[in-house]
């Protein structure tokens, strides 16, 4: 299916990978996101939108200068799109670099991801 020219929602998911997050907390975040993407209500919500598509990306963040775009923008408009996104999140390697928890830096980086939104 071709990507739409317009999406109903553009969503940046931000995963905390700072030093205070251990492997169990990281798994809780990523497996929770993957599980949510597989929920039928998510597909139903996407399908009920005017354009029947959303854009999704995922950022891993820690502190200033220690963020990464782990999943670039992708369009989700079918159950198979949601499943592929869930698998990508499950298979994503943690981009951990020592550092504190810089929520403001993570938010600033995440907000900047919208500048590359192609839809």
Phi, psi of 40 (to 5 degrees): -55, -30
Write the pLDDT tens digit of every residue in 102-114: 888 889 999 999 9
Average pLDDT over residues 51-67: 93
Whether 56 and 76 have beta carbons less than 8 Å apart is answered as: yes
Tokens of 92: 């994503």
How much is the average pLDDT of 70-89?
97
pTM of the predicted structure, to 2 decimals = 0.90
Distance CA 44, CA 18 (A): 34
Helices (H), 1-119: 23-37, 40-47, 79-91, 103-113
Domain ranges of the chain: 9-116
Report the pLDDT value the prediction gives residue 3, as an integer from 0 to 100. Answer: 65
Per-residue pLDDT of 24-46, as tens digits, reads 999 999 999 999 999 999 999 99
* Angle in degrees, CA 9, 50, 114, rounded to 5: 20
Region 9-116: CATH code: 3.40.50.410
Confidence of residue 47 (pLDDT cuts 50, 70, 90): very high
Q: How far is the C-alpha of 63 from the C-alpha of 42, rounded, in Å?
A: 31
């Amino acid at each position: 299916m071709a990507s739409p020219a317009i999406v109903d929602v553009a969503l940046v998911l931000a995963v905390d990978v700072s030093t205070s997050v251990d492997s169990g907390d990281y798994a809780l975040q990523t497996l929770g996101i993957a599980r949510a993407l597989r929920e039928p209500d998510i597909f139903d919500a996407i399908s009920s939108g005017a354009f029947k598509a959303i854009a999704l990306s995922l950022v891993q963040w820690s502190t200033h200068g220690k963020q990464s775009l782990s999943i670039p923008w992708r369009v989700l408009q079918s159950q198979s799109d949601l499943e592929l996104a869930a698998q990508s999140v499950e298979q994503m390697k943690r981009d951990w670099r020592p550092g504190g928890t810089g929520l403001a830096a993570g938010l600033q980086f995440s907000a900047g991801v919208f500048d590359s939104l192609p839809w």
